[in-house]
Amino acid sequence: MEGKLIVISGFSGVGKGTVIHRLMEENEGFAFSISCTTRYRREGEVDGRDYFFLSQEAFEDGIERGRFLEYARYSGNYYGTPAQYVFNQMKKGIHIVLDIEYQGAFQVKEKYPDAVMLFLIPPSARVLVERLVNRGTETREQIRSRLAQALTEADQAEQYDGILVNDRLEQTLKEILRVVEDPKCAAEFRKQNAGLVQEIKKDLNGILKTW
Ligand code: 5GP
């Protein structure tokens, strides 16, 4: 049987990276799709492990050659999923996990309606801000841009199959596995958490006013 496509989106700083890392580590039969990007490499990131870091020219060449399953611009940079790797893994029956933003997520859903689309949110706006500040990889101005972006992304959350609160890692992992097993239960998680998305939006608006 073909592997499934699992799309995981969520605000910058919500902890997608950690969740996905643990999902791979603890479960066989999953593979992470390493994206291409034109953004600068953060300290600690490794080319070919976290991303394939490309120049703008190389990325645009990839677009022309149809090498991306999806791609989008985000915070002034290109991000895209190399198609070949995804197809190869799925053919082998391996579930493939994409950590991508919403424009790319919707492109994937259009091509693959069976893709499982999950949106991760933090337990509160305050926790999100703390995580971004503590990560220490962005300037204050870059954090502002990420928070403003989070507001736009929050409007898209309800179009995902499921919305999951990434508060306790173990719980988040359990919920992801449940949805992969039975995609229909994603809607339950969406309904449960849609209210929290609105609350976070309101709080983010307030935080940005005085940032
Ligand atoms: P970051 O710069 O923080 O690593 O990622 C910024 C955003 O780009 C995140 O929301 C992440 O999910 C998204 N992203 C990473 N890779 C891809 C990709 O291949 N395609 C798309 N559309 N978004 C991506």
Q: How is 13-80 classified by DSSP, letter by letter? A: TSSHHHHHHHHHHH-TTEEE-PPEE-SPPPTT--BTTTBEE--HHHHHHHHHTT-EEEEEEETTEEEE
Q: How far is CA 63 from the centre of its chain?
A: 21
Atom from ligand 1 closest to the CA of residue 50: 4
Locate the ligand 1 atom nearest the alpha carbon of residue 80 and give its number.
Answer: 19
Q: Which of 74, 98, 156 to mutate to test the pocket of ligand 1 (most atoms within 8 A of CB)?
A: 74
Residues lining ligand 1, CB < 6 A?
9, 12, 35, 39, 70-72, 74, 79-81, 99-101, 103-104
For 91-125, how does the pLDDT look when each residue is reduced to its tens digit (9 = 90+)?
999 999 999 999 999 999 999 999 999 999 999 99
pTM, whole model, 2 decimals?
0.94
Query: What's the pLDDT tens digit per position in 156-198?
Result: 999 999 999 999 999 999 999 999 999 999 999 999 999 999 9
What whole-number distance in Å separates Cα of residue 32 and Cα of residue 15?
Answer: 15
* pLDDT band, residue 148 (cuts 50/70/90): very high
Mutate which of 9, 101, 153 to test ligand 1's pocket (most atoms within 8 Å of Cβ)? Answer: 101
Give the mean pLDDT of the chain: 96
- What spacing in Å lies between the alpha carbon of 193 and ligand 1's midpoint? 23
CA of 80 to the centre of ligand 1 (A): 8
